[in-house]
Structures are given as C-alpha cells and as structure tokens.
Amino acid sequence: MSARRTLDAGLDTARLGSAVAALTRSARREIRLPLGASTLAALVTVEAQGPIRLGDLARHEGVAPATLSRIVAVLEDEGCVVRTADDHDRRSSWLEISAEGRTLLDGVRREHARIMARRAERLTPEQAARLADALEALEVLATD
C-alpha cells in the first residue's frame, strides 16, 4: 500500500503529516526553549492531567521510568512541579504543576504564538481563511 493516503474528502494524509512535522521542527528551531522539548512536553502533560502519578506520566509520554526520573528531576530543580507522596502507596508519587511551571509554559506559548503569527503573514488572505477554518479539525487530530 502506498504511503500516500487520501480520505473521501481528498485529504492527503501523508502530506498533512509531513507538513505538521516540518512546521513543528522549524518552529522548535526558532523558539528559545528554556528546557528541552521532552521536558516541556512532560510539563504540558502535568498541567493538563495533573496531579498525575509518575508511572502514568511515563506511559503518557512514552518514556522509560529512568528517563522520566531525569525529566522530573529537571522540572523539580527548575521549580516547575511539586512532587508529593501518595498517601495510599508510599512507593508512588504525584506531580502537580507549580506557579513557576505555569509561568514558564505561558512564556513558551507566547513565544510560539509570536513565531506562528510572523509565519502566518506569508499566507494569502484566502490561505489564512482556509487555515482558520481547519483549526478545529487540527485540534481534534492533536488530541490523544
């Protein structure tokens, strides 16, 4: 089967995947990330899902427990998360985002929005309108 697939609506899914990946990579090169991409991704998950158990965070991020331990150590060192012991299972911990973590993510999101706004200036009015119409569908695709 060809890597290029289309849906009934004529959507070229291979092209969509390539475009989204390329946009993500190029924006990541341009943005000044205060932490590594994996560490920021974990912080976003803690914000969205927290409080969250360390094991659940590792599964969500698709990383080994040892890798997650390093990520969490960085987040704790930066004051971005608060770790608490589980009252029912002392071997388990919960993570919750701190005020510092929220401030850091707000700054990253503002920087990312600035970069996207500058890139969007390249679009024709028609392209911008079509992209605006597609945002809801893109958000659905981005949901786990």
Identify the CA nearest to 56 among candidates 89, 102, 87, 95.
95
- List alpha helices for the chain, DSSP H: 13-30, 37-49, 54-61, 65-77, 99-120, 125-142
Quick check: is 88 in a domain? yes
Confidence bin at 1 (pLDDT 50/70/90) = very low
Number of compact structural domains in the chain: 1
Confidence bin at 2 (pLDDT 50/70/90) = very low
Tell whether pTM > 0.85.
no
Which range of 12-16, 21-25, 31-35, 124-128 scores highest in mean pLDDT? It is 124-128
For 26, the domain range is 13-142
For 52, list phi and psi in degrees, rounded to 5. Answer: -135, 140
Identify the CA nearest to 24 among candidates 119, 105, 144.
119
Q: In the predicted model, is pLDDT for residue 123 greater than 50?
A: yes
Quick check: is 46 in a domain? yes
Q: Are 104 and 34 in contact (CB under 8 A)?
A: yes
- Averaged pLDDT, 68-73: 95
